[in-house]
Amino acid sequence: MLSKNLIAKFAEIAGKNVWTEEEDLMCYAYDASFGEMCVPEIVVKPETAEQVGRIVRLCCEENIPLVTRGAGTNLSGGTLPIKGGCVLLMSGLNKILEINTEDMYAVVQSGVITADLAMAVSAKGLLYPPDPGSMKMSTIGGNVAENAGGLRALKYGVTGDYVMGTKFFDIEGNAVIAGGKTVKMVTGFNLSGLMISSEGLLGVMTEHTLKLVPQPQASRSMLVIYDDLMKASVTVSEIIGAKITPATLELMDRFTIKTVEEGTRIGLPTDADGLLLIEVDGHPAAVEDEYAKIKEICNKLGGKVHIAETLEERDKLWEARRKALSSLARLKPTLILEDATVPRSRIPEMMQCIKDITVKYDLTVGTFGHAGDGNLHPTILTDKRNKDEMVRVEKAIDEIFASALKLEGTISGEHGIGSAKAKYLESEVGAGTIRFMKKLKDGLDPKNLLNPHKMGL
Amino acid sequence: MDELLKELHELEEMMLQCMKCGTCQSDCPLYRTDGRESSVARGKISLLQSVYEGRIENAGRILKHLDQCLLCTRCLKACPSGVKTDEIFLRGREVLRRIKKLPKWQKLILKTAMEKPELMARMAPLMHMGLKFGSKKIKDGIYRPMIPGLGGRNVVEIKSEAFVKKYGGLNRADNEIMRVVFYPGCAVNLIYTEWGTAVVEVLRHFGVSVYVPETNICCGIPAASMGELEMYRNAVKANYDALAVYKDAAYIITSCPTCRYGLYEMGPKQTGAECPLTVVDILVFLEEILSVRLQTGAEGRSTIHFPCHYQDSKKGLVENFVRSSTNTEYMKLDNQSCCGFAGTFSIKYYERSKGFSRSKIEEMKDKKTDKVYIPCPGCAMQLADAAAREGLDAEVTHPVTELYNFIKEIK
Ligand SMILES: Cc1cc2nc3c(=O)[nH]c(=O)nc-3n(C[C@H](O)[C@H](O)[C@H](O)COP(=O)(O)OP(=O)(O)OC[C@H]3O[C@@H](n4cnc5c(N)ncnc54)[C@H](O)[C@@H]3O)c2cc1C
Ligand code: SF4
Ligand code: SF4
């Protein structure tokens, strides 16, 4: 419990947007991760960058742990206030400050919802490519802090590839300006780069300058059906090997296909073992050419190709992909979505590992994911009340990550480390890297007030 | 308290389905205005869970958060896990309500509306008079009341004669091809009586005879939204009994999506009983069952407000209807949010509910629309109030009234 005096100090800065009632605190004791509830002591929602700076400084002076929260959609426990303290909501900083079509950049506050930015940009004929599955609710600040990727990441890259500049406050409340509006900029350390994937551990970001690109002129989508999932996985490696970069290349396994079809009746083949959803975009001539080559590769590997001829058909195909998670989610009370990622040539091996682990621990797992960039989402369906099964789930997750690392992959392709994956971090990066990160963190935040305990720091 | 915990536990199964993914934030009108978790489904569910898992002792305190919900079902539709948010919130309110009792005046109005429907109809002329004396007419059919309790809201006129008084019984069509029951609901019965007339006359024109129940029993949703679920269940059952009498009718027609939702979607879930006939919205009936093609002369720039409880799969149908049966230039609204009426929400939180309607009216002003088609009387009241307040001179009406105007002319 914070003292009345302290609460008043917060209220002096953020007015009525300060909450300390039990029921308000309980609303920030969770995020989208599968973790234990952690209750903060105070919740504030600043509305200007200046207020953010003052709140950060106050927390620093009073030794109050500070957790920055965007939309709380991270799947790794990144916004759980493990040490209590203050949860700082960014939803009040939600203005798009500028969309510059000449120099092709946008300046936005951190609390802007990704889809709102994407829509505003597209209304001006440009494209902001990062499109995480959560874009309708996640914030730009959260995207930068997690370096979120999306369906288009294969060709267009992830959020980090679009950050030109970021303004943030360090723990003392000093305003830091990183990067800016020029394409080239080498003034000092690459501090915007430092903030990418920083998960709220190094500072509180308030504003971002983001690169925009022209909208592609044409696109084509196809659905390819396989009677053997392994052949679908091999297709992925071959397409990449043929030096073609589709905008999207998504994979779904038999269990997921069946579940999606049962839930939606889109018309997916329920006897298929795997399917790929592929979209190429760009100049019309290039699109036709790439599309013909991909079709040939798919046919060669026994894939049956269905092409979307109209916009409606295209939407229908993507609906199948979008419905993957939701259809799985309806089967069991608890859903644990993992994020193992491997170099894309190793997808077939990784798919095999997941299959074996599922059998070994007798679990229900549906796997789908961004096969084009090696990012798979083995999704475990369980019930957290079933203690016996939860033990097996935990072991399976350990093994999934161990397998990904053995295949020279990573424990997180896009969902971050947070508290959920902290225990695996060292096994991927080694003790030296952890020490380096620790020193960095200690130097910038000696009292360890910024999102403590995340990434094990 | 033990009793309460037991009942909350029954909600547990439903709530466990929520994986806290946050997808419900995307469309929640409340969250979009305040960015707070207590507004959105995920937060409300967490609060209920906190009560039964013992993290919050004073359960009464979370009622206000559950109460501040439009019951617009946007979260229900957005939720990937299929969490039945509407059921959870309704039942959650019911349970919590026992701790904090309903204010007396609200209960009295409810009781009258639910249990003495004849009285409501008989009171119509009185309310009609009362409204006229206590208010200032600012536009045809719209009054600004001087009663402070209504917070300065402009209200649509309560008619001196209830709709069922005039139309109760069988309204025969000349070349009868089928019979249906028209369920007007309270708002059409007492306020938008002209919508009721339009529905009956248009149906008759197309050879459909229409039964109108002599007494309109409220669908019960207002009670449900106040946490009086038992009252709601009773209303649903009373309606089912009353409607079961029409053995030769093929459908129940309604012009209020909330009534349809209350009787046909939520009703069976809450009572375990079946509605005696399929309930169909009037526009859906005209398009899908009668395949009506009529080109009315309506002109101007129109737009449509889609009510939250209108069946999602049929929203395109409403657009088609407006496009094909009027000569108006249809301007789709970018703002597809709830109008803010949401039954009792707009009475309890008028200031907040004004915000939703204001932003819609702003867009209508920008788009220079002079006709707003709304297939729901509740939304029509809210937006008529907002239009009068924000200075938009637009006609607010149900698309079926255009058909009726046209038919009257050609007769
Ligand atoms: C259904 C679903 C689908 C998803 N799909 C994808 C996907 O396709 N790709 C993907 O990469 N991720 C995905 N995610 C994960 C998640 O949406 C992303 O990580 C997203 O970037 C989080 O944004 P947020 O605004 O919710 O941030 P939060 O969850 O609120 O915060 C995430 C982290 O960022 C920090 N943070 C937030 N804002 C700031 C700030 N202004 N300054 C400093 N630190 C800050 C927080 O402290 C926390 O550590 C998905 C999640 C869900 C639930
Ligand atoms: S969308 Fe559904 S599962 Fe996700 S947080 Fe909201 S209610 Fe829970
Ligand atoms: S019913 Fe509507 S207002 Fe209520 S929580 Fe769901 S989306 Fe929000």
Residue B147, pLDDT above cutoff 50: no
Residue of A nearest to B60 (CA): A23
Name residues whose C-beta falls within 8 Å of residue B2's C-beta, 6 or more positions apart in sequence. none
DSSP 8-state symbol, A278: E
- Mark out the alpha helices in A265-346 (DSSP H runs): 284-300, 311-329
Residue B143, pLDDT above cutoff 60: no
- Cross-chain residue pair A27–B47, CB shorter than 8 Å: yes
Q: Which ipTM was obtained for this model?
A: 0.90
Residue B167, pLDDT above cutoff 50: yes
- Candidates A19, A24, A26, A380: best to mutate against B (most CBs of B within 10 A) is A26
- Cross-chain residue pair A92–B36, CB shorter than 8 Å: no
Are the C-beta atoms of B18 and B48 separated by less than 8 Å?
A: no
For residue A387, count CB atoms less than 10 angstroms from its CB and return exposed for 0-12, middle for 13-18, buried for 19 or more: exposed
Residue B298, pLDDT above cutoff 90: no
Are the C-beta atoms of A51 and A396 separated by less than 8 Å?
A: no
- Give how far A327 is from chain B: nearest CA, Å: 7
A197: left (phi over 0), alpha (psi -120 to 50) or beta: left
Q: What is the pLDDT along chain A (457 residues), one digit of tens a residue?
A: 789 999 999 999 999 999 999 999 999 999 998 878 999 999 999 999 999 999 999 999 999 999 999 999 999 999 999 999 999 999 999 999 999 999 999 999 999 999 999 999 999 999 999 999 889 999 999 999 999 998 898 899 999 999 999 999 999 999 999 999 988 888 889 999 999 999 999 999 999 999 999 999 999 999 999 999 889 988 988 998 899 999 999 999 898 988 888 877 778 888 899 999 999 999 999 999 999 999 999 999 999 998 888 888 888 778 777 778 878 888 888 888 888 899 888 888 898 999 999 999 999 999 988 888 889 899 999 998 899 999 999 999 999 999 999 999 998 888 889 998 898 999 999 999 999 999 999 999 999 999 999 999 9
Best residue among A44, A79, A146 to mutate for probing ligand 1, ranked by most atoms within 8 Å of CB: A146
Distance from Cα B238 to the centre of ligand 3, integer Å: 28
Q: How many residues does chain B have?
A: 411
By mean pLDDT, which of A57-66, B108-117, B260-269, B353-362 is the weakest?
B108-117
Q: How far apart are CA B35 and CA A28, in angstroms?
A: 12
Residue B4 confidence (pLDDT): 65
Q: How far apart are CA A95 and CA A108, in angstroms?
A: 6
Residue B134 confidence (pLDDT): 44
- Mark out the alpha helices in A205-253 (DSSP H runs): 229-241
Residue B131, pLDDT above cutoff 50: no
User: Strands of A66-69's sheet, edge to edge?
Assistant: A18-19, A42-44, A86-89, A66-69
- Cross-chain residue pair A27–B19, CB shorter than 8 Å: no
Question: Which residues of chain A are within 8 Å of residue B13 when distances are taken between CB atoms?
Answer: 333
Which of the two residues, A39 and B223, has the higher pLDDT score?
A: A39
Residues whose beta carbon lies within 6 Å of some atom of ligand 1 = A 31-32, 67-75, 78-79, 90, 110, 132-134, 138-139, 141-143, 145-146, 148-150, 199-200, 204-205, 325, 414-416, 451; B 21-23
Are the C-beta atoms of A158 and A147 separated by less than 8 Å?
A: yes
Residue B172, pLDDT above cutoff 90: yes
Can you name the residues that pair with A105 across neighbouring β-strands? Answer: A100, A211
What secondary structure, in 3-state letters, does chain B show? CHHHHHHHHHHHHHHHCCCCCCHHHCCCHHHHHHCCCCCCHHHHHHHHHHHHCCCCCCHHHHHHHHHCCCCCCHHHHHCCCCCCHHHHHHHHHHHHHCCCCCCHHHHHHHHHHHHCHHHHHHHHHHHHHHHHHCEEEEECCEEEECCHHHCCCCEECCCCCCHHHHHCEEECCCCCCEEEEEECHHHHHHCCHHHHHHHHHHHHHCCEEEEECCCCCCCCHHHHHCCCHHHHHHHHHHHHHHHCCCCCCCEEEECCHHHHHHHHHHHHHHHCCCCCCCEEEHHHHHHHHCCCCCCCCCCCEEEECCCCCCCHHHHHHHHHHHHHHCCCEECCCCCCCCCCCCCCHHHHCHHHHHHHHHHHHHHHHHCCCCEEECCCHHHHHHHHHHHHHHCCCCEEECHHHHHHHHHHHHC
Q: What is the mean pLDDT of residues B294-320?
A: 88
Residue A267 confidence (pLDDT): 80
Name residues whose C-beta falls within 8 Å of residue A68's C-beta, 6 or more positions apart in sequence. A79, A88, A90, A141, A145, A200, A204, A205, A451
Name residues whose C-beta falls within 8 Å of residue B14's C-beta, 6 or more positions apart in sequence. B83, B84, B87, B88
By mean pLDDT, which of A179-193, A431-445, B141-155, B156-170 is the weakest?
B141-155
Average pLDDT, rounded, for chain B: 84
Which ligand does the CA of A66 lie closest to? 1
Its pTM surpasses 0.80: yes
- Give how far A326 is from chain B: nearest CA, Å: 4
What pLDDT digit, counting tens, does each position of B50-63 carry? 887 778 877 778 88
Residue nearest to atom 4 of ligand 3 (CA): B69
Q: What is the mean pLDDT of residues B182-196?
A: 90
Residue of A nearest to B80 (CA): A326
Which two tokens mark B225? 């939204």
| B301 φ/ψ angles, rounded to the nearest 5 degrees | -110, 120
Residue B135 confidence (pLDDT): 45
pLDDT band at B149 (very low <50, low <70, confident <90, very high): very low
What percent of chain B has a predicted confidence (pLDDT) above 90? 34
Inter-CA distances, B237 with B31, B118, B240, B274, Å: 35, 17, 5, 9
Residue B260 confidence (pLDDT): 94
Best residue among B45, B64, B69 to mutate for probing ligand 3, ranked by most atoms within 8 Å of CB: B69
Element (H, E) at A259: helix A254-264
